Each structure stands twice: as structure tokens, then as C-alpha cells.
Chains A and B, each alone.
Chain A
Amino acid sequence: MNAIHNTNHTGSRNSPPALDHPQLANIFTADQARAHWHDGALWFVRQKRDRMAKAIPEWEELRSLASQIKAHALANLPEYLELFERQATEMGAVVHWAADGQQHNQIVYDLLKENRAQRVVKSKSMLTEECHLNPFLEAHGIEVVDTDLGEWIVQLRGEPPSHIVLPAIHIKKEEVSETFHQHIHTEEGNYDPTYLTRQARHHLRQKFLGAQAGITGVNFAVAETGGLVICTNEGNADLGVSLPNLHIACMGIEKIVPRWIDLSVFIRLLARSATGQPITTYTSHFHGPRVGGQLHIVLVDNGRSAVRSHHTFQEALHCIRCGACMNTCPVYRRSGGHSYSNTVPGPIGSVLAPAMDAHKHHSLPYACTLCGSCTDVCPVKIPLHHQLLAWRGEMAERKLIPLSKRLSMKMGRIVLGNSLLFRTGGWLARFGLRMLPKWLTHHRLNTWARQRDLPIAPKQSFRALFQQRKKRHQD
């Protein structure tokens, strides 16, 4: 799978994580009460999604249509990108192309510099997170304020988002209160969400009014019309780009949909899948710049074309970033978004991250029980758990899994590949389990048995019992 070795991505934060997924997950689950709280919060969202989906009789049909539209768009991506560029340019927008995160960051910075913009408001964009735009701009002396409430909370705390739709889902209100008290002097100990949100609104209003540019992500770009669609509940993207004269919209090249009418399918699916709302509060359609303003659109590859080149993984580019796979994933819910050490966590993140850096993210395809819930919940029908399984094959082939795992699988093959060895091994295991003292079978090095008992070993195997039964019947 050579094509997926992509070297052209943002290099700044690419050192392997100090801890892999199981280690970070074990730390998260050690605080059982908190892990349960986190699981419950996300399960609540999943249930809201179920209620919304149930209210649409054609739900499964919509998923199929969405998948077809995305597959079509992906197959014809270069043509649609050019059409989009033409249409957008005709209306006065300026389209930029960035092969990787570094180019993207430079383009954005140059635009800000040209326009003497020192203060910028930004609405949610996983792409800019992925490219690490904030630290880049800050290093150049530009103030960037993330205006989505959840994003702002994690920004103030110096953390990355832990979820693509609910960036601060891992943070408790008491902690938000502390952070706000520290940074914007809210009342100490007042952790009423309404109070905290009001204070944030008040504080961020001034940021909106003082900004010289607004940066947004993009949910959908329509090739046919050259338009952009941006969905928010807070209204922060709209407010952020309708005050200053400069709007920079950053999008991955996979965000293209062919036709205006295609939006109907995706808009029906997106918010219902994401948060269990019938639609986001604001579903905004931008065609060209405001009168007297500028609209710059940055089209970014940053590893997407590498994913597109591989037929097993290309469907991952259908993703509309709803986060439903995270909300439903029993592992994500209990291990938290940060345990994935990737901008996009959860099942879709575990498929996309290894495409960027298989060595760094080798543990992600294994952070999964292969339960398949993500595949069924995905509004664009990405076969997520099949892709995670396929990634395991890649990892094994490239010897990126621990030697112990590889050896035990080889051993397994040898023992299970020979029925005599298998029967003997089975007998030994059962005999050992019955005869050896528990401290010898359930010691600390046996990870299975640290918190679980081993099965009670029967005297006889099934095959022995079956033989005896057959004999009895014949007699």
C-alpha cells in the first residue's frame, strides 16, 4: 500500500505520541466515575440521534443516496474542483490551493498580513486543527480566537478538542467555571451553564466586533454553484464573517458535492446524525464575497489524495464530520477523545490517522472491538469497522504491531493448524487450569485474569463428549 505513505503533511507535531491508545485509555478509565460520566453524555447524544432518524421513514434511503453522491463526487473530484473554482471565481471569490498543511497555513497568514489583520475570529474547522493553524498564526503575532463555545473552552485551557462536534465534551462544568474565572473573571464557583454561556457571549461579542478577519471551515462546497455551506448552532461563523471585510474559508478537497440539490440529502442527515437535531440552527450558504468584502477559499489536500488512491480506504473521504461514529463507539465513549492523539478521534479518526502516519498511529485500528456500530450509524455508509480491520492487515504486514502479538499469532497458527497439537494443547490448558493453584494461573502477568477469572475448565472437551454420545447411540 505504498500510495498511502504520504510525506507531505504538516510536520510540526509529528513525533510519535509518548503513550499509545491502550495506555492513554487505561489512564482515562482508571477514573471510573468520570469515564462513566463521559460515556453517558455521549450515549445521550446517540439516543437523540436515534429518535431523529426514526422520525424519517426514508432514513436508510438517504444514507444510500448520500453514499452514492459522495462516491460520484470522489470519482470525479478533479473535474468538480475545477468547476467549483470557476463558479466561485466568477462570483468574486479567490480560490487558493494547498498541497499540505504548511502551504495552507502560509496562504492564510499571507492573506492576513496583506490585509493587516492582527485579530482574527475563527469558527469550528477541523481542517485548521489538523494543520495546526492557530500555533502558526500565533507565532506570527496574530491573535486567533476560536468562537465556538466548546472550542473556546479548550483553547483557553490549552488543549486540543476531544470530539469534532462537541470539542469540550470531556470537560466538566466545574472545570469550565474555573477556566472562565481565571481568564474572564466570572464568579468563582458559579458553574451554571447558562451563566457561563452568557458570560462567554458577552466576552466574545467584543472579539467579534474587534476582529479584522473571520476564518471558517466548510461543511459542503457546491461545484455547480460555486457556493459554500457552513453549519453552526451558535451563529458564530455567520457573525464572524459578516462584520469584518475578510472571510477566509478553509476546506479539504473532499468537501465537494456536485449539485445544489445534493445539499438536501446531506443537510437532512448531518445534524440528525451529529447532535440529534432536525437541522443546525444556521445552515448558511455563501456565494461570493459580501459587497465590498473579500472571500478567499483555501482548498487543501494534506493527505486526502493519498487516501483516495487506495480502494480500501477511499470511502473514508465520504465523511461529513458529523461525529456519530464517536458518539456510538463504546470504546471512544469510555476512553475519551484525547486517547487517540489525533485531531479526528474515534472510528473515522482511526481510519484516517494511520493514512497520515502509520507508525505514529499504529495502535488506533486496534482501539476497537469490531462491534460494527459505527458502520451502521454512519450517515454516508463508510464501512468503518471493515476499514479498521483492513488497517490491521496493513499494520501486520508492515510489522508495526508488537512482536509479542505477531509471535502469539504464529504460535496460534501452528497449534491450531494441526489437530493433534490442538487437542494436546487444549488438554494441557484444561488440565492446568483445573490442577494448578489459582495464584499460578491468575497472576499479574496474565492480563486476561487481572480483573477477570479464567473459565472453569471442564474435564472433557466437546469432541470427547460427542464421541461418547455417538458410541452410546450406536450401542
Chain B
Amino acid sequence: MRVGLFIPCYVDQFYPQVGMATVEVLERLGIEVDFPEAQTCCGQPMANTGCLDDTRPLADRFLQIFSGYDHVVSPSGSCVSMVRHHYEALFHNDARLHHLSEHTWELCEFLVDVLKVEKLPVRFPHRVGLHSSCHGLRELRLDACSERMGNQHSKVRRLLAGIDGIQLVDLKRCDECCGFGGTFAVAEEGVSILMGVDRIEDHVASGAEVMTATDASCLMHLEGIIRRRNIPLRTMHVAEILAGRNWQ
């Protein structure tokens, strides 16, 4: 199985530990991953701004770089959703895209859906709040969505719940958005900050020591507020917990 590792641009530069944790989780499960050096960005920031002309060249690059893999795995629900759901509008009937969009996975769903992992042999003896990053939640359906009724699968939560010593806290609002939203964080500063603060307060009030998410972008925004306000809450990407990283 040829697995290509897709590390989002900002994770590459600012959250290398998230990428490394992803590699470790996969290697421990016997998956050898390849990191194509030419990769940069999937084009999501441009697409979400509406600048499709600026998105196309990046999406094109991405398609070329990753088309040869059996699977592409990434520690970001948002970027995976970009490839899986939003590339379609940029390409006309590209057979490569068909394969790519069906085989690009967010880390947790790759573990659960492809590798059929039930439990990971790691320990994390802390109270953890799971912030369900929106694109992973509502575009990839990584967990149950509070708006939807009936039976729903839960992937991230199930993986986390299986970890020794972990205590997942119940949040008052289980899947409220954190207010990052890409350029929204800057363009709509007032609302973005308020949403972030509310999200953090929900975690603190629920007794969480660590807040985790499937997207480092949410955590970058939340961590920025946490550090500015000296709030006693740590942020860790899901991959770090799944890799058995200690609370540093």
C-alpha cells in the first residue's frame, strides 16, 4: 500500500510535531508513509475566499503530486474535505481526481475506515475536551453531528475513548464552531474572538485540561487566545494524543 502523507502548509511550518505524530501513529501500525517534497498547499484558503483562479494552479499541483498513491492521509479534516468535496468544481472529468477524492483520508477516518483500528496501545491520563472541527465533522462526518437525528458513526471520539487513562469531558455545546474560519478570523475579528473565547470557556468549565481537535487551524486560533489570556488549558492535535505524546 503506497501511502502519501499530505501535511497542510501551515502544519509543515508551524506545527511540525503534528506531522511527526501522524507519521508515528501510521508507522506503528505498519504503514510506511511517503512525504512528497514538492507539496505545498491544497488551495483551500483561496477557494474559501472565492478566488478560484488562484486555487486552480494549486489544486492542479496537488493532483499531480498525489495521484500516484493508493491512499493519501492528512492530519486535517478541513484540507481533506477540500480535496474530496471541492476539487470537483475545479476539474472537468479528470479520472485522476476520481481516485484521489475517494482515497484521501483524514487521519482518524483512515485508521477506522481503512485500517479498521479499534484501539491504540497508548496512554493519556488526562481530562480531554474534543473540539469537533467543523469540516471534519459536517463534511467528512467524523463524528455524530448534533443537528442530525438517527444513528451516526463516531470515529474520532471512539478512537480517543479507547485510549488508556483518558477521560473525555462533556461539553455544554458538543460541536459549536470555534470561529477560526480561515480569513474569517481576521475579516470578522469581533465575532471570531468571541466564538473562540466561548469555545475555550466551555472546555474550562467542563474540567478539561487538554483541548484536542482534528484540525490544527482551529487550535492555532484557540491557542492564540489561550496564550494571550493566560487560560489554564492546553491544546493538542488529535494525532499527538493518538501517538501517545505526553503532556509537556
Task: Spell out A's residues near B (CB within 8 Å).
Answer: 21-22, 25-30, 32, 35-36, 39, 43, 50, 53-54, 56-57, 59-60, 328, 330-331, 334-335, 365-373, 375-377, 389, 391-397, 401, 405-406, 409-410, 412-413, 416-419, 422, 426, 429-430, 447-455, 457-458, 460-466, 469
Contact A463/B54 with A330-B176, A417-B40, A419-B38 known, Cβ cut-off 8 Å:
no
Query: What's the Cα separation between A376 and B191 when bound, in Å?
Result: 22
Docked-complex contact B228 and A413, CB < 8 angstroms: no
Contact A22/B188 with A368-B181, A413-B58, A458-B16 known, Cβ cut-off 8 Å:
yes
Chain B residue, CB-CB nearest to A429: B13
Docked-complex contact B188 and A409, CB < 8 angstroms: no
Docked-complex contact B40 and A422, CB < 8 angstroms: yes
- Other A-B contacts than A22-B188, A405-B183, A453-B227, 18 sampled, CB-CB below 8 A, are A22-B190, A28-B190, A50-B146, A57-B150, A330-B191, A370-B135, A371-B138, A372-B134, A392-B48, A396-B50, A416-B9, A419-B38, A430-B14, A455-B224, A462-B12, A462-B15, A465-B16, A469-B20
22 pairs, CB–CB < 8 Å, chain A vs chain B: A25-B188, A26-B191, A27-B190, A59-B150, A60-B150, A330-B176, A334-B191, A335-B188, A335-B190, A366-B187, A371-B138, A376-B138, A376-B147, A391-B50, A413-B58, A417-B58, A448-B224, A452-B224, A458-B14, A462-B7, A462-B11, A465-B16
Docked-complex contact A53 and B134, CB < 8 angstroms: no
Docked-complex contact A412 and B54, CB < 8 angstroms: yes
Docked-complex contact A447 and B189, CB < 8 angstroms: yes
Cβ of B124 to closest chain A Cβ, rounded Å: 22
Does more than half of chain A's interface fall in helix, strand or loop, or is it mixed? helix
Q: Which residues of A contact B194 (CB under 8 A)?
A: 29, 32, 35-36, 334
Query: What's the Cα separation between A463 and B146 when bound, in Å?
Result: 37
The A/B interface has a contact count, at CB < 8 Å, of: 219
Docked-complex contact B148 and A417, CB < 8 angstroms: no
Give the residue among A370, A405, A418 with the most B Cβ atoms within 10 A. Answer: A370
Give the residue among A27, A369, A412, A430 with the most B Cβ atoms within 10 A. Answer: A369
Q: Which residues of B contact A370 (CB under 8 A)?
A: 48, 134-135, 181-182, 184
Docked-complex contact B50 and A393, CB < 8 angstroms: yes
Interface residues on B, range: 35 or more
Docked-complex contact B145 and A406, CB < 8 angstroms: no
Query: What's the Cα separation between A342 and B43 when bound, in Å?
Result: 32
Chain B residue, CB-CB nearest to A413: B54
Query: What's the Cα separation between A418 and B166 when bound, in Å?
Result: 42
Query: What's the Cα separation between A452 and B47 when bound, in Å?
Result: 25
Q: Is B64 an interface residue (CB 8 A)?
A: no
Docked-complex contact B135 and A451, CB < 8 angstroms: no
Docked-complex contact A394 and B50, CB < 8 angstroms: yes
Docked-complex contact B223 and A455, CB < 8 angstroms: yes
Docked-complex contact B50 and A395, CB < 8 angstroms: yes
Query: What's the Cα separation between A56 and B148 when bound, in Å?
Result: 12
Q: Which residues of B contact A464 (CB under 8 A)?
A: 16
Q: Which residues of A contact B185 (CB under 8 A)?
A: 448, 452
Docked-complex contact B48 and A334, CB < 8 angstroms: no
Query: Can you list the 4 inter-chain pairs with the closest CB atoms, starting with the nearest?
Result: A392-B50, A369-B181, A452-B224, A372-B138
Docked-complex contact A25 and B14, CB < 8 angstroms: no
Docked-complex contact B50 and A43, CB < 8 angstroms: no
Contact A409/B45 with A368-B181, A419-B38, A430-B13 known, Cβ cut-off 8 Å:
yes
Q: Which residues of A contact B57 (CB under 8 A)?
A: 413, 417
Q: Which residues of A contact B175 (CB under 8 A)?
A: 373
Query: What's the Cα separation between A375 and B49 when bound, in Å?
Result: 19
Chain A residue, CB-CB nearest to B189: A447
Query: What's the Cα separation between A188 and B7 when bound, in Å?
Result: 63
Q: Is B167 an interface residue (CB 8 A)?
A: no
Q: Which residues of B contact A43 (CB under 8 A)?
A: 173
Q: Which residues of A contact B55 (CB under 8 A)?
A: 413
Contact A334/B135 with A366-B188, A371-B177, A422-B9 known, Cβ cut-off 8 Å:
no
Contact A412/B46 with A26-B189, A60-B150, A417-B40 known, Cβ cut-off 8 Å:
yes
Query: What's the Cα separation between A334 and B220 when bound, in Å?
Result: 21
Q: Is B52 an interface residue (CB 8 A)?
A: yes
Cβ of B47 to closest chain A Cβ, rounded Å: 8
Docked-complex contact A369 and B134, CB < 8 angstroms: yes
Q: Which residues of B contact A366 (CB under 8 A)?
A: 183-184, 187-188
Residue from A331, A401, A466 within 8 A of B50 (CB atoms)? A401
